[in-house]
Amino acid sequence: MSSQFDKAQAALYETIYSFIQDSTRAFSLMRAVPDASAFTSSDAAALSDIIGYSGSEIENRYRNIMEAFSSEVLRYSVILPESICFPEEKGDWFPVIYGAGDITLLKKPRVTVIGMPRPSMQGKQDTAEAISYFSKHDVAVLVPLDPGIGLLAAALALKAGCRVIGVLSTPLSASSSEFQEKVEAEIYSTGLLLSVFPPRQKTERWHVMIRNRFIASISGSVLLAEEKDGGPSWAIFDKVLENGGRAMLSRSMLDVPSYRWARERMESGALSYATDSDLKRIVPKVKSISFEPDLFS
């Protein structure tokens, strides 16, 4: 679990970000404060001169956010860029990540599995076969915890003994349904829950778009099981492809006349999945990383 200092830094970052909505600048300003765990009125006054809000507003918001951090019901970690487990990010930068569970999974070979909210039987079958392959080859599965392919892939992976990284569009302990809450509890016990939203932040529908940008930024390999033209999963798929990652879609989509986007992506460098041998192409090779402290540093 993160130190209190890590959480104080995260709370200060969230405070500044809530005012200026710029992650890079908010992180830089957070780092400029001498001691986030002993945030003072003089620190707030200095920030006030920079960001244009009163010191009392900044202090009050920081105090409220710290209180929210303390009220989180799950044991969680704040994952900062200096953490050995901080994932490589491409495109958008998310400097503060919240994780509940085994954060070392972020250094394990993993593939992101995405798809539509109401998949066909073929989409479900493609998802099940891919999850079976990943479970046999000790590959972790990263999924958005949404109805449809996301929750289906998570449930299938858990049943197969595959490690799951579930990414939320809410704070860590929020769930939108009883089924999702059950899946999240299982992931928490054996895998990892991730969010870029701090404890008790009000959930908005558009947070799904931020969550999807986060997924795309940390995904080097993605499998699109099924999605209609214009569906939300394409935003993740296209970003991974744009960032030089390995983006694969189910070959069955190419046989559906109405799925024009799938065929277009094949012309842009996407890969297609029909058999297990195809999936080998998107399983990343991860270097061995020691989590033991370096006594000589």
Looking at the structure, tell me whether residues 165 and 221 fall in a common domain.
Answer: yes
Region of residue 263 (phi > 0: left; psi between -120 and 50: alpha; otherwise: beta):
alpha
Render pLDDT for 168-196 as a digit per residue (tens, 0 to 9).
999 998 766 778 888 999 999 999 999 99
Cβ–Cβ < 8 Å for 16, 30: yes
Q: Buried b vs exposed e over 129-162: b needs ≥16 C-beta within 10 Å?
A: bbbbbbbeeebbbbbbbbebbbbbbbbbbbebeb
Non-local (6+) Cβ contacts of 24 within 8 A are 93, 95
Give pLDDT, residue 289. 52
Render pLDDT for 207-247 as a digit per residue (tens, 0 to 9).
999 999 999 999 999 999 999 999 999 999 999 999 999 99
- For the domain that residue 140 is a member of, what is the CATH number? 3.40.50.450
Domain housing 254: 97-282
Looking at the structure, tell me whether residues 40 and 114 fall in a common domain.
Answer: no
- Of the chain, the percentage scoring pLDDT greater than 70 comes to 95
User: If you average pLDDT over residues 70-85, what whole number do you get?
Assistant: 91
Render pLDDT for 236-288 as a digit per residue (tens, 0 to 9).
999 999 999 999 999 999 998 989 999 999 999 999 999 999 999 999 876 55
Looking at the structure, tell me whether residues 143 and 273 fall in a common domain.
Answer: yes
Indicate the SS3 state at residue 73: coil
Looking at the structure, tell me whether residues 234 and 125 fall in a common domain.
Answer: yes
Distances (CA, A) of 143 to 7, 102, 209, 222, 236: 25, 15, 14, 10, 11
Residue 290 pLDDT level (bands cut at 50, 70, 90) = low
Count up the domains in the chain and report the number.
2
Region of residue 21 (phi > 0: left; psi between -120 and 50: alpha; otherwise: beta):
left
Looking at the structure, tell me whether residues 208 and 159 fall in a common domain.
Answer: yes
